[in-house]
Amino acid sequence: MIPQPALFGLDGAMLAAFAVLGALAIALAVLAVLLARGRDRLRAAHEEARVRLSRAETLAQEAEALRAELEAERARRLRLESEAAAMEARLAERERAFAELKARLDSEFRAAASQMLQNAHEDFLKRANETFERHREAASAEAERRRKALDELIRPMAETLGRYEASLAEMRADQQKARGELIGRMSELASSAEAVRAEARKLATALRSGAKVRGRWGEEQLRNVVEIAGMAAYVDFVEQKSHDDGERRKQPDMIVNLPGGRKIAVDSKVSINAYLDALEADTDARRASCLARHGEDLWAHVKALSAKDYAAGLKDSLDIVVMFVPGENYFAAAMEARPQLFQEAFERKVLIATPTTLLAMLKAASFTWRQEKAAENAAAVARMAKDLYDSLRGMGRHLAALGKALENAVGKYNAAVGAIEQRVMPRARRFADYELPGIDGAIDPLREAETPVRALREDRDLLLPESGEEDEDQSAA
């Protein structure tokens, strides 16, 4: 048996050992945690280093690509400069060659002409005593032939040189003209851009200045749309017309007259302060806030216009009023902030129209007016055609009666001629046989009329009257 004190000493040693082991285990656990954290940090640092390395490689590749593009542009510029210099050199060389060729051709032509004249002169002197006249004609013919041959030889070269010189001058003129036009267009573009910016600033300032200015601008835009659509104020619409509903005075900007006596009121609404603020906003949040306010402003105009109830106060008006927004961008911005704006306005019997949609509506109205006028014109033409047809039928009756009268007159004339020729003229011609004083020459025979009167036919003549009408005319006659 182990003594009690020894047992206590052994337990203390074991407890100490266990404590040491526990401390070691804790230390190992802490060390493992630290190692894991270090490994994670190392892995994150490695990943970050890899990403930075990849980004650096990408930037290096982009820099290399940009360097290559720069080198290519430099090479291209050098090549273009070289080509321009070479072209100028070739042009100068061609001009010099042209001058030399022209001088050489002039010299050769003079030498050839001189030689030809000399030979002809010597030949002429040698054979002058033999056949002067024949030799002169032959020499003249030969000289003419050689001159023509020389002209034929030189003409293509001269024409080629002339065309080359003309094309060269034209190319230079075109080049100078193109340069001048390019400089002028660039100046005009810069001036136009600056003028547009200045006008835009003036317009924005003016539109911000007051409701009256915006109202006049909206009415002007409305008038422009109406003029483009062909709905002039004196023909198809009434501008700035007011009417009373018994209690209050209402005045839309425009009343469009539709065929059939129907009408539709159009009112221009310009609310763009919030929209201009959105354009000048420096943050997305401020821009969204300004656009939302812009949508609410248009919605307020819709409610106010619906409350005026123009359609109820206009006789024969359509059950809707058009609210004109003088800009596609203003309406698009309002719809972006308030997508249900168009539907809500339509439910209140207000139709929102931009210049494009209003132009389409007015074009449709103009087409309807043209169709109605065409129908009226067609009816008028039909009435005129009926009147003309009735007049032509009456004229046909008169012409038919005249034809019958002429036919009767011709028959009576021929009968009279036959009777005179048979009974009177033979006795009258006998006076010439007696050789009476004062009677000289024979009596010409009378001839019957042989040209027939053209009869009217039903299958040919529009003026032919109906049989009943013809019988009535005959009975009346």
Would residue 71 count as lying in a domain? no
Of the two residues 113 and 109, the one the predictor is more confident about is: 109
Would residue 383 count as lying in a domain? no
The answer on pLDDT for 401 being more than 80 is: no
- Of the pLDDT bands very low, low, confident and very high (cuts 50, 70, 90), residue 346 is very high
* In a shared domain, residues 136 and 108: yes
* In a shared domain, residues 147 and 229: no
Would residue 434 count as lying in a domain? yes
Any residues with CB less than 8 A from the CB of 375 and at least 6 apart, and which? none
Would residue 63 count as lying in a domain? no
Lowest mean pLDDT, pick from 122-131, 332-341, 381-390, 434-443: 122-131
Domain count within the chain: 3
- Of the pLDDT bands very low, low, confident and very high (cuts 50, 70, 90), residue 342 is very high
* In a shared domain, residues 187 and 216: no
* In a shared domain, residues 122 and 192: yes
* In a shared domain, residues 227 and 144: no
Location of structure tokens 């009767």: 408
* In a shared domain, residues 160 and 232: no
Would residue 127 count as lying in a domain? yes
Indicate the residue among 301, 335, 353 that finishes a domain: 353
* In a shared domain, residues 151 and 269: no
The answer on pLDDT for 67 being more than 60 is: yes
Please report, rounded to a whole number, the percentage of residues in the chain having pLDDT higher than 90.
Answer: 3
Would residue 361 count as lying in a domain? no
Would residue 131 count as lying in a domain? yes
* In a shared domain, residues 343 and 225: yes
3 state SS for 104-157: HHHHHHHHHHHHHHHHHHHHHHHCCCCCHHHHHHHHHHHHHHHHHHHHHHHHHH
The answer on pLDDT for 381 being more than 90 is: no
Indicate the residue among 198, 224, 249 that finishes a domain: 198
The answer on pLDDT for 476 being more than 70 is: no
Of 304, 322, 220, give the one whose Cα is nearest residue 265.
Answer: 322
Would residue 16 count as lying in a domain? no
* In a shared domain, residues 192 and 216: no
Indicate the residue among 307, 328, 353 that finishes a domain: 353
Of the two residues 191 and 346, the one the predictor is more confident about is: 346
* In a shared domain, residues 349 and 219: yes
- Of the pLDDT bands very low, low, confident and very high (cuts 50, 70, 90), residue 9 is low
Segments forming the whole domain that contains residue 465: 388-476
> What's residue 376's pLDDT?
82
* In a shared domain, residues 407 and 429: yes
* In a shared domain, residues 214 and 338: yes
Is the pTM higher than 0.75? no
